[in-house]
Amino acid sequence: MDLRDDPGDEVNRVSKLVVGAAIEVHTHLGPGHSEAVYEAALCIELALRNISFERQFPVILLYKGHGVGESRLDSLVEGLLVVELKSCEAILPLHRAKVISYLRATGKQLGLFLNFNVPMLKDGIKRIVQTR
């Protein structure tokens, strides 16, 4: 990765905290539950760890400076990190594209895509950096 694409120490620190919390959730629940279950559990774990987050964070979608709709992030953590959760068979290119769209819409540089429907959570984590 080019250094100018590095999102910075603070957002990298937050990313590690979120991954640790997600691993804790996955360790307790395992794979196979709905996305809503993992979202609720991750929010509980983040709160227990005193990590600030906004669940279902609203994002106004703009087209040439005009609002054309609204979407929602699963979580915005510490005001820095976009977190999208899934419980699916595989991470598809569309999932990555969705996180990139959220990064562009929010002006954030780093997103985590967490797929909890895997035997080992490390195989379900996708780190996505918006390049400048």
pLDDT of residue 3: 41
Break the chain into its structural domains and give their ranges: 3-129
Find the mean pLDDT for residues 3-19: 84
pLDDT of residue 97: 92
Phi, psi of 69, rounded to the nearest 5 degrees: 170, 180
The strand pair at 81-86 and 110-115 is best described as parallel
pLDDT of residue 5: 63
For 3-7, 40-44, 60-64, which range has the lowest pLDDT when averaged over its residues?
Answer: 3-7
122 pLDDT above the threshold of 90: yes
Task: Provide long-range contacts, Cβ within 8 A and 24+ apart, for 58-62.
Answer: 59/102, 59/105, 59/106, 60/105, 61/105, 62/105
Render pLDDT for 27-54 as a digit per residue (tens, 0 to 9): 999 999 999 999 999 999 999 999 999 9
Amino acid in the structure at residue 114: L
130 pLDDT above the threshold of 70: yes
**Whole-number average pLDDT of the chain:** 92
For the entire predicted model, the pTM comes to 0.90
Find the mean pLDDT for residues 97-119: 94
131 pLDDT above the threshold of 80: no
Phi, psi of 65, rounded to the nearest 5 degrees: 85, 0
Q: What is the C-alpha separation between 2 and 115, in angstroms, rounded?
A: 26
Q: List, in order, residues 6 or more apart from 78 with CB less than 8 Å away.
A: 10, 11, 14, 51, 52, 53
Q: What count of residues does the chain have?
A: 132
pLDDT of residue 2: 39
* Contact yes or no for 46/58 (Cβ under 8 A): no
pLDDT top residue among 92 and 82:
82
